[in-house]
Chains A and B, each alone.
Chain A
Amino acid sequence: MNYFPDEVIEHIFEYVGSHRDRNALSLVCRSWYRIERCTREKVFIGNCYSITPERLIQRFPSLKSLTLKGKPHFADFSLVPHGWGGFVYPWIEALAKGKVALEELRLKRMVVSDESLELLSRAFPNFKSLVLVSCEEFTTDGLAAIAANCKWLRELDLQENEVDDHKGQWLSCFPDSCTSLVSLNFACLKGEINTGVLERLVARSPNLKSLRLNRSVPLDALQRILARAPQLVDLGVGSLVHDPAMETFAKLMTTMNKCKSITSLSGFLEVTPRCLTAMYPILPKLTSLNLSYAAGIPGSDLIKLIRHCKKLQRLWIMDSIGDKGLGVVANTCKELQELRVFPSDNIGQHAAVTEKGLVAISMGCPKLHSLLYFCHQMTNAALITVAKNCPNFIRFRLAILDATKPDPDTNQPLDEGFGAIVQSCRRLRRLSLSGQLTDKVFLYIGMYAEQLEMLSIAFAGESDKGMLYVLNGCKKLRKLEIRDCPFGNTALLTDVGKYETMRSLWMSSCEVTVGACKVLAMKMPRLNVEIFNENEPADCEPDDVQKVEKMYLYRTLAGKRKDAPEYVWTL
């Protein structure tokens, strides 16, 4: 290959987009490494502490788009105490210093201060796209800076962030000259916005394809906005609540009829069920529907709605749809690929979903490959049926609300059911377990789940053997997160080299001791082994035999981090 001129190889590499493929290319030989690094524009960093920004910038001089993830996944469920880390400011500062021509920044579970957003908005004249998922600490002031200073902003996408809403006029900060918006999502903001300003912004954004509103945008404003943006492809309705003026509602229906391009619908943070009929004109074309924020819609209304959605590929919904409703989904949505069923607040058991709903889905939707299913119970028989019907699962996440519940029919653990899943779904990359589980399920996982990259375990297993089966068997394992399982030091220390092949390991409320973590840290200098010491005073050295409440370890080339809070001990 070394007789090809570089320009030819560069040209070929242009067709290689996925970062994994790019990573593979860079390992082939030195010249490919060199060419690849000079031409790479998009970089994905799964753990912001695995490398320093300076090193990143040095390797990829053409960097334009950066994706960073911060806190461990279990931070989503309040298991990571406040202040752990994941600050984006040092990254933005380094990128600015390094004169990187940054155009896109995508952050997940990071701490984003207003100062970082300010700096971001000023330091990169070509900045086009900001996506923040599950981040925190910024306020609408930071958003105002982005709106005001990013002249070529195309995308501002805020998903499920904790934003302090100062109710300032951040939307007004988009200058009149800003006409480049393609995607605007502020659904997670809790405060009021000026609907007039929003309408004018939408009116001067002819390329706007995705618009997700927050709950403060009422029905009449929604109608006016949609009237100005019939080209929308993705709509997030903030609030769909009964308006006493009937003609507003009629107007909305007429406007919806004109929105011929909408294929994705979400939001409904506040909704009166009978107002949903306004959405009926667009339902037949929908490929993606997210009703999982809409508490309080009765199952019957959901069912009526779903009957119109024959083209759905992705459905996120509340369990108030019930098993019967899932049966309707199975009959209607033959193209379904991704399903998420979230638990609603109501304790009314009769409305919730069980294994029956899942079995129905598996029978009707053979293309299903991603599942997140919160349910009240699951049986081995059901899982075995699902495994047979849907061998294409890539992501299979089951969360039984009673985390250690056995099969209610046989009183057995769910080992066989999950075993069937991993045996049948050879392409499974992500798995989350729940229910009563012994070491056996891990034996199955180790044996069959060859493509497994991420495994989440809670309240499962009986002994170190369980964890060892997984560590030994799953060659492609990258992220392992374990809580409240009886896995201890033997499991942790048997194969320490394994952790350098993985991104991270989380263990909380397990049987691992401080001493073992110290041993691990000593043997593996390129791992950061962090233990969280929340209950002891900061200067108290814990005993080696003491159990570790929370441990998070990850491979890194950046060494011990300097921004850890007091309760984090990096061993």
Chain B
Amino acid sequence: MLSIPLAGISIPFLSKKQNQRANITLLLLFSSVFNVAAMDESSRNDMKLELRLAPPGAEEQQHWGFINGIRTTTTKRDESSVLSLGYFPHATITTTTTTSSSSQAAALPLHNNNADKKVANTAVPNTSQKRTAPGPVVGWPPIRSFRKNLANSSSSSKSPPPPPEHHNKVVVGGGGGGGGKGMFVKINMDGVPIGRKVDLNAYDSYENLSNAVDQLFKGLLAAQRDSSGGGVNKLQEEEKVITGLLDGSGEYTLVYEDNEGDRMLVGDVPWHMFVSTVKRLRVLKSSELSAFTLGGKQDKDAT
């Protein structure tokens, strides 16, 4: 049956939703050209079903079909074609390590990364697009993050490595497994004795990180203020939102320690560069900023 191979169109500067709408529009345009009436009843029904963005109701069987030969139930059988809509990132990258492709990530606009991650992660209406694994997908290929981090730190120490100075050797790219999957760094906040850990790979922008920091600490911060209270109740109304972490406008500012041991303001370098050099994060009181020597270092870790 008909298989219209155009639902793989992705327009990079559009968001995923906009892309979906674009695809639907195009599909509707073309379907009228291709004489839908020529299809038989069942495939028209399928098409009717599939034109929705939400999956058909949970009846008996759901047939999954994909375009671009990635997955289709229709090719060798007599079943009707199932038109799927969706946003297919057209890159068919098979490896998923993001570090070697960190420059690649820089080339792709942030929207794409968002969409890719959303495709894999969120409970968005389950359209067929999630069944494919065209671009980098979370957790595929199934390699332990330890191994991925190892690969990343090895590739950053180019071969042949320079003759090692035995007692002063810096573990290149080691540390926190820079840039690999599952990249957890510690984050401490002034006034909160318990630190947290954040997975930097879960965010693709400073804004998301800033929101995450707010989420992580506002509860703890409120608990600190409210320490005279009885229980450990999180009174939602009393939790102040932590804002202005990046532009210096808020009560707190986000800084980080990089792989050279220096304290740096978060936000200066492109995100992927930040991710590959950050070792730990700190949320400082903005008033204390001038008290710290940014760019200096208290205690040296690696030499």
CA distance A419 to B74 in the complex (A): 21
Instruction: Among A404, A463, A484, point to the contact of B63 (Cβ < 8 A).
Output: A463
In the complex, are the beta carbons of A295 and B154 less than 8 A apart? yes
Chain A interface, >50% SS class: loop
In the complex, are the beta carbons of A549 and B122 less than 8 A apart? yes
Shortest Cβ distance from residue B52 to the other chain A in the assembled complex, whole angstroms = 15
6 additional A-B residue pairs with CB within 8 Å, beyond A77-B145, A509-B126, A511-B58: A160-B147, A167-B301, A242-B161, A243-B163, A293-B147, A401-B141
State which of B40-48, B93-101, B261-269, B283-291 sits at the interface with chain A: B93-101
Instruction: Among A243, A344, A465, point to the contact of B61 (Cβ < 8 A).
Output: A465
Shortest Cβ distance from residue A91 to the other chain B in the assembled complex, whole angstroms = 22
**Per-residue 0/1 for A176-204: is the Cβ within 8 Å of any B Cβ (1 yes, 0 no)?**
00000000000010111001000000000
CA distance A162 to B114 in the complex (A): 27
**Per-residue 0/1 for A468-499: is the Cβ within 8 Å of any B Cβ (1 yes, 0 no)?**
00000000000000011110111000000000
State which of B5-13, B64-72, B250-258 sits at the interface with chain A: B64-72
Chain B interface, >50% SS class: loop
CA distance A524 to B168 in the complex (A): 59
Shortest Cβ distance from residue A190 to the other chain B in the assembled complex, whole angstroms = 4
State which of B14-22, B131-139, B238-246 sits at the interface with chain A: B131-139
Shortest Cβ distance from residue B286 to the other chain A in the assembled complex, whole angstroms = 27
In the complex, are the beta carbons of A403 and B133 less than 8 A apart? yes
In the complex, are the beta carbons of B171 and A216 less than 8 A apart? yes
A-B contact count (CB 8 A): 181
Interface residue B174 (Cβ < 8 Å from any Cβ of A): yes
In the complex, are the beta carbons of A190 and B174 less than 8 A apart? yes
Instruction: Among B94, B131, B154, point to the contact of A269 (Cβ < 8 A).
Output: B154
In the complex, are the beta carbons of A402 and B69 less than 8 A apart? no
Instruction: Among B95, B126, B184, point to the contact of A343 (Cβ < 8 A).
Output: B95
> Inside 8 A of B76's CB, which chain A residues have their CB?
412
Interface residue A5 (Cβ < 8 Å from any Cβ of B): no
In the complex, are the beta carbons of B161 and A241 less than 8 A apart? yes
In the complex, are the beta carbons of B130 and A509 less than 8 A apart? yes
> Inside 8 A of B123's CB, which chain A residues have their CB?
535, 546-549
In the complex, are the beta carbons of B137 and A403 less than 8 A apart? yes
CA distance A511 to B58 in the complex (A): 9
Interface residue B157 (Cβ < 8 Å from any Cβ of A): yes
Interface residue A50 (Cβ < 8 Å from any Cβ of B): no
In the complex, are the beta carbons of A345 and B95 less than 8 A apart? yes
Shortest Cβ distance from residue B260 to the other chain A in the assembled complex, whole angstroms = 16
In the complex formed, the residue of B with least CB distance to A402 is B94
CA distance A161 to B154 in the complex (A): 17
CA distance A398 to B75 in the complex (A): 25
CA distance A406 to B68 in the complex (A): 12
Interface residues in B153-195 by Cβ distance below 8 A to A read 154-155, 157, 159-161, 163-164, 166, 169, 171, 174-175, 177, 181-182, 184
Known A-B contacts A404-B132, A438-B73, A483-B139; the reply to A462 vs B163 at CB < 8 A is no
6 pairs, CB–CB < 8 Å, chain A vs chain B: A161-B146, A215-B171, A404-B70, A459-B71, A490-B60, A549-B121
